[in-house]
């Protein structure tokens, strides 16, 4: 008889044990000749060496299942211990699973193009209107890389367009002033990584969320780096960001060229970068449109309405300019 302590790393043990330890009782029933006691994230097991080895192997499989899918159920536990594939394992084209166990995958042709472009290139530009899933899908790809250990960290950034005088009127220290600009990035991460684990990753700098200005002087290696809302970068800012790229790093740059908030007359760095970098091997540009919008159906109508209004306004401005030159 031997005794071993198994530590469950990287997962919330409550997910594996189940409500009221229901799943733990199933595991115990499948190993009647072992004495199993669980407390917090440590499982203490007493029994013979052969059964102990089998138990350790299957607990590791269960841990990896929870880590990958953020959930587990009775059927999954039985399938894994019996050496069968779970339903989740046979699912196709899933990037990651959210904290509720819902699969995150492409929902349109261009979203799939973004996934494919990420797999085949080191730098990807994803350009399209609001609601097309650019940011959410990009962060899902980054979370997958972290889980698959193909990247050691995730770095997320956004330009704080109003980082001048208006920022000073916000309450709190610099982090509290900047966080509102970065909240959409936190929202996506919170949907994919359990809160306690996410906080731990942020504290350990495995996940870093910072405004664009904080990227200057850094070399970003062994990471997935995402620049969101890149249409609001200047030429100098996006050039600085793109040249931060280090070894074993992938970059995703997202933006909506119809929502530029820069001062009038200032060229969007994203627009210029796409023109300059188009056709370079290793860089892919994915253009998304209203057909890719996955938010409420009204969002598509709103985007189209503003698009029509912009065309009308541009046409009127051009007519006025022609009249003034006559």
How many CA atoms within 13 Å lie on the side-chain side of 221? 3
Among 295, 27, 6, 249, smallest CA distance to 118 is for 249
Q: Exposure of 178 by Cβ count < 10 A (0-12 exposed, 13-18 middle, 19+ buried)?
A: buried
Torsion-angle region of 229 (φ positive above 0: left; ψ -120 to 50: alpha; else: beta): left
From first CA to last CA, the distance across the chain in angstroms is 99
Q: How far apart are CA 118 and CA 101, in angstroms?
A: 23
Q: State the pLDDT confidence band at 297, using cuts at 50, 70 and 90.
A: low
Percent pLDDT > 70 in the chain is 88
Is residue 126 predicted with pLDDT exceeding 60? yes
* Number of other residues whose CB lies within 10 A of the CB of residue 170: 13
Is residue 326 predicted with pLDDT exceeding 80? no
Q: So what's the pLDDT on residue 10?
A: 83
Tokens found for residue 258:
């119809």
Region 112-124 average pLDDT: 95
* Mean of all residue pLDDT scores within the chain: 86
Among 226, 96, 222, smallest CA distance to 151 is for 222
Region 234-259 average pLDDT: 93
Q: So what's the pLDDT on residue 165?
A: 36
Kind and range of the H or E run holding 157:
strand 153-158
Q: So what's the pLDDT on residue 263?
A: 85
pLDDT 10s digits, 162-193 = 434 344 544 555 556 567 777 888 899 999 99
Q: State the pLDDT confidence band at 299, using cuts at 50, 70 and 90.
A: low
Percent pLDDT > 90 in the chain is 51
């Amino acid at each position: 008889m031997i005794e071993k302590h198994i530590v469950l790393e990287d997962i919330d043990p409550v997910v594996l044990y189940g409500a009221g330890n229901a799943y733990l009782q199933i595991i115990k029933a499948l190993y009647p000749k072992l004495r199993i006691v669980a407390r917090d994230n440590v499982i203490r097991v007493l029994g013979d060496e052969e059964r102990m080895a089998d138990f350790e192997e299957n607990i590791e499989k269960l841990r990896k299942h929870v880590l990958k899918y953020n959930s587990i159920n009775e059927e999954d536990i039985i399938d894994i211990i019996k050496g069968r594939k779970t339903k989740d394992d046979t699912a196709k084209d899933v990037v990651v699973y959210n904290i509720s166990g819902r699969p995150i995958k492409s929902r349109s042709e261009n979203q799939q193009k973004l996934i494919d472009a990420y797999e085949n290139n080191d730098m990807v530009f994803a350009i399209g209107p609001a609601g097309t899933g650019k940011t959410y899908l990009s962060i899902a790809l980054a979370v997958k890389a972290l889980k698959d250990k193909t990247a050691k960290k995730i770095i997320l950034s956004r330009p704080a367009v109003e980082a001048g005088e208006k920022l000073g009127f916000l309450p709190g220290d610099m982090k509290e002033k900047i966080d509102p600009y970065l909240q959409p990035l936190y929202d996506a991460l919170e949907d994919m990584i359990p809160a306690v684990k996410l906080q731990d990753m942020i504290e350990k700098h495995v996940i870093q969320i910072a405004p664009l200005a904080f990227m200057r002087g850094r070399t970003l290696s062994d990471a997935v780096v995402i620049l969101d809302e890149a249409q609001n970068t200047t030429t100098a800012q996006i050039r600085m960001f793109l040249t931060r790229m280090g070894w074993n790093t992938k970059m995703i740059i997202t933006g909506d060229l119809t929502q530029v908030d820069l001062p009038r007359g200032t060229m969007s760095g994203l627009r210029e970068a796409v023109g300059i970098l188009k056709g370079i091997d290793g860089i892919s540009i994915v253009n998304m449109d209203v057909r890719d919008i996955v938010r409420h159906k009204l969002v598509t109508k709103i985007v189209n309405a503003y698009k029509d209004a912009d065309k009308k306004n541009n046409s009127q401005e051009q007519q006025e300019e022609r009249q003034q030159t006559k």
